[in-house]
Amino acid sequence: MKPQPESPTLPPNPLPADRRKFLTATLASVLGASALARQAGTVQADDPAATAPSAGQGAAKEPLMSVHDDSMQWPPGWVGKEEIVMLLYPGFTALDLFGPHHMFVLMMGAKVHLAAKTLDSVLTDTGIEVRPTIAFEDCPQAPTILFVPGGTGGTLDAAKDDATRKFVANRGSRADFVTSVCTGSVLLGAAGLLDGYKATSHWITRDLLSEFGATPVDERVVIDRNRITGAGVTSGLDFGLKLVQDLRNDEYAAAVQLFAEYDPQPPIDQGSVAKADPQISGLLMHMHEPFRQMVRDLKNVQ
């Protein structure tokens, strides 16, 4: 990409020319700007950014997840070849998965798979119908990350489903990182993957992880060796960004965070049991006692 004229409203860019060229090419690839630049005719053919796959409207055929270019010379920490397997099952909670998914697909070079038993669309518990990108049998045998989202009844059914539970146990046994958000950790537990590990879950099921041999921990993201588990639903954003930071570096994670404008400002502040009205948290917990019992029963499923 040709240097753009400095805007009078922007600070002067203090990066050395080489560093700037590298960052520009890298971020352009990651964030899809190269395609837009090409559309506008501002990219030269000899510019590395011009060789990177495109996003934007091109994304409709060539999504960011496919970004990979072996011809580029990337400094350490700025590109990878991760194989990330994100599990889909009927009734999973959409946001559990789409939060970290947004962070993962911005890791240049990573391949992000949405894996299900078949390639048929999967209906989430909030009515979004999502198409898998890969079937279990075609999934990488030893993924970099195995990720399991949560849900309620759908998660119980997935844990009881032999094909799904065994897929999780199998890939989890060889994955570099075995991960979950929300009650996804219940499914990890039912698959035998949390025995002897510290872990977390949605606050309603967190203590029940002990049924699967885990030590429940009340933290937003819990890391114990290669097990990385997040708390309820929205923890997936913090979880995803933490993984970007660990798999790449602080600078890369900062660029992803800024591009996602992840500077949360909730209009109210009752997002944890510690902060919430005990009337509401108590009722939610009591209401879910039947669900909690069904989670306990899962320990006999294997």
Give the count of beta carbons closer than 10 Å to the beta carbon of residue 165.
Answer: 20
Catalytic residue list contains 182: yes
Q: By C-beta, is 173 or 270 nearer to its own copies?
A: 270
Least distance to its own copies, CB of residue 43, Å: 8
Minimum separation from the CB atom of position 139 to its own copies (A): 16
For the bound state, the minimum distance from the C-beta of residue 173 to its own copies, rounded and expressed in Å, comes to 27
Question: Which parts of 86-105 interact with its own copies (CB under 8 A)?
Answer: 90-91, 93-95, 98-99, 101-102, 105
Three-class secondary structure of residue 199 per DSSP: strand
Question: Residues 52-91 vs its own copies: string with x where CB under 8 A?
Answer: ---xxxxxxx-xxxx-----------------------xx
Range 29-48, binding its own copies (CB under 8 A): 31-33, 35-37, 39-40, 42
Is 257 a residue that touches its own copies (CB under 8 A)?
yes
Site string for its own copies, 99-138 (x = CB under 8 A): x-xx--x------x-x------x-xxxxxxxxx-x-----
Q: What is the b/e burial string over 61-79, where b = at least 16 CB atoms within 10 angstroms of the residue's CB?
A: ebbbbebbeeebebeeebb
Q: Under rule CB under 8 A, which residues in 264-293 are in contact with its own copies? A: 264-273, 275-291, 293
Near its own copies by CB under 8 A, which window of 17-25, 74-82, 166-174, 187-195? 17-25
If one asks whether residue 301 binds its own copies (CB under 8 A), the answer comes out as no
- List the end-to-end C-alpha distance of the chain, in Å, as a whole number: 55
DSSP 53-99: PP-GGGGGTS-GGG---TTS-PPTTS----EEEEE--TTB-HHHHHH
How far, in Å, are 92, 189, 230 from residue 211 at the CA level? 22, 8, 18
Q: What is the smallest separation between the CB atom of 178 and its own copies, expressed in angstroms?
A: 19
**CA separation for the pair 36, 69 (Å, rounded):** 18
Is 214 in contact with 225 (CB distance < 8 Å)? no
Enumerate residues 196-225 that contact its own copies by CB under 8 A. 202-203, 207, 220-221
CA angle 121, 126, 132 (to 5 degrees): 20
Asked if 142 interacts with its own copies (CB under 8 A), we say: no
Total interface residues for its own copies by CB under 8 A: 123
- In whole angstroms, how close is the CB of 130 to its own copies at the nearest point? 6
174 or 204, CB closer to its own copies? 204
Q: How far is CA 230 from the centre of its chain?
A: 10
**Quick one: CA torsion of 129, 135, 139, 143, rounded to 10 degrees?**
30
**Smaller CB separation from its own copies, 170 or 291:** 291
Contacts of 14 (CB under 8 A, 6+ apart): none
Catalytic residues: 182
